[in-house]
Amino acid sequence: MEHLNIELEEKLGEEAGFITSLIKRLKRDKNRCVYLVSCVHNKYLFVDDSFEALTAYSSSQFMKEGLEFWLALIHPEDKPIVMEAIIQGHSLLFDPTIVVSEMKPMDLVYRFKKKDGKWIWLCETKWVVPSNKEIKDYIIGSFIDISEQKQKDDLRLLQLKEEGTNNLLKAALEYKASNEKQLINTNQIIETGKPIGIDQLTKREKEVLKLIGEGLSTKRIADKLFISINTVETHRRHLLEKLNVKNSMELIKKTAKAFWL
């Protein structure tokens, strides 16, 4: 499915022309996967077939499972940045003073887990669709695998470090390398830099916390752990109290380095 179908175009109304035109223009780059999302309804309306070539997951699965599916596959260290970008993006959509035509595309770079378990670097770019409505609903986005370019950039930085021409750069690279060494497999807890209070959580609280970090809703967590929604909410409340945070977003930020989700 490389283009919007007629039924979807009719539903989009006055925005359909802009959306169709931009998607066609973006798809001139064969390495780019394009999608359309409704922020008001929190639903992906279109994901082109190249998503499967990029990640090995089908575009239909992405559309069906939506945001929870996508968030669960983002590297835990990158997830707080992505979540912050989502919040900032939604605040722009609901701000009547924002002029879409003056907005630049929003770029976000993070690691994404393919179906085979391999991590790749994605560059996600988003365009807000202009609208005369009070609330701007639609966002067109694209994914590009930039893993090869990241490797080249890292190699170049390593060469600069070895040349020793910049002490500040050398220190920054050593810090980056130190953090990367802390990454271990998906079932373990990182001991270095473990957030205060994480060792005080019960086994069930850690399970709930892990699923919150994967972006699952309260109902999905309840279904997955075979407990009631009220029980999930109780665990969530205890987690907020024990880790001294105000909401789920802060929970994810504070524990991102404690779990390889």
pLDDT at 54: 93
| C-beta separation of 112 from 73 below 8 A | yes
pTM to 2 decimal places: 0.62
- Identify the band that residue 200 occupies on the pLDDT scale cut at 50, 70 and 90: confident
SS3 57: coil
Per-residue pLDDT, averaged over 38-62, amounts to 89
Per-residue pLDDT, averaged over 61-90, amounts to 84
pLDDT at 149: 87
- Identity at 109, one-letter amino acid code: V
| C-beta separation of 112 from 33 below 8 A | no
pLDDT at 3: 61
Query: Tokens 């009220």 — which residue?
Result: 230
Query: Tokens 């998503």 — which residue?
Result: 51
Q: What beta strand segments (E) does the chain contain?
A: 33-38, 43-47, 106-113, 119-128, 138-145
Average pLDDT, the chain: 78
Q: What percent of the chain has pLDDT over 90?
A: 20
Per-residue pLDDT, averaged over 107-118, amounts to 93
For residue 35, report the phi and psi dihedrals to the nearest 5 degrees.
-140, 165
pLDDT at 87: 77
How buried is residue 85: exposed, middle or buried, by Cβ count under 10 Å (0-12/13-18/19+)? middle
Query: Tokens 């802060």 — which residue?
Result: 250
Q: What percent of the chain has pLDDT over 70?
A: 77
pLDDT at 260 over 70: no
pLDDT, tens only, 135-187: 788 899 999 999 988 888 777 766 665 666 566 666 665 655 555 444 333 33
| Crossing angle (nearest 10°) for helices 248-255 and 79-93 | 150
| C-beta separation of 83 from 125 below 8 A | no
CATH 3.30.450.20 domain locations along the chain = 6-148
| Distances in whole angstroms, Cα of residue 105 to Cα of each of 85, 92, 127 | 13, 13, 5
Query: Which is higher by pLDDT, 250 or 259?
Result: 250
**Looking at the domain covering 182-261, what would its CATH class be?**
mainly alpha
**What is the rounded distance in angstroms from the CA atom of residue 49 to the CA atom of residue 220?**
27
Of the ranges 54-68, 75-89, 175-189, 233-247, the best mean pLDDT one:
54-68
Of the ranges 111-125, 163-177, 183-197, the best mean pLDDT one:
111-125
CATH 1.10.10.10 domain locations along the chain = 182-261
| C-beta separation of 114 from 52 below 8 A | no
pLDDT, tens only, 20-33: 899 889 988 989 99
Query: Tokens 């990454």 — which residue?
Result: 183
pLDDT at 189: 33
pLDDT at 93 over 90: no
pLDDT at 169: 60
CATH 3.40.50.720 is right for the domain spanning 6-148: no
Query: Which is higher by pLDDT, 128 or 164?
Result: 128
pLDDT at 18 over 60: yes
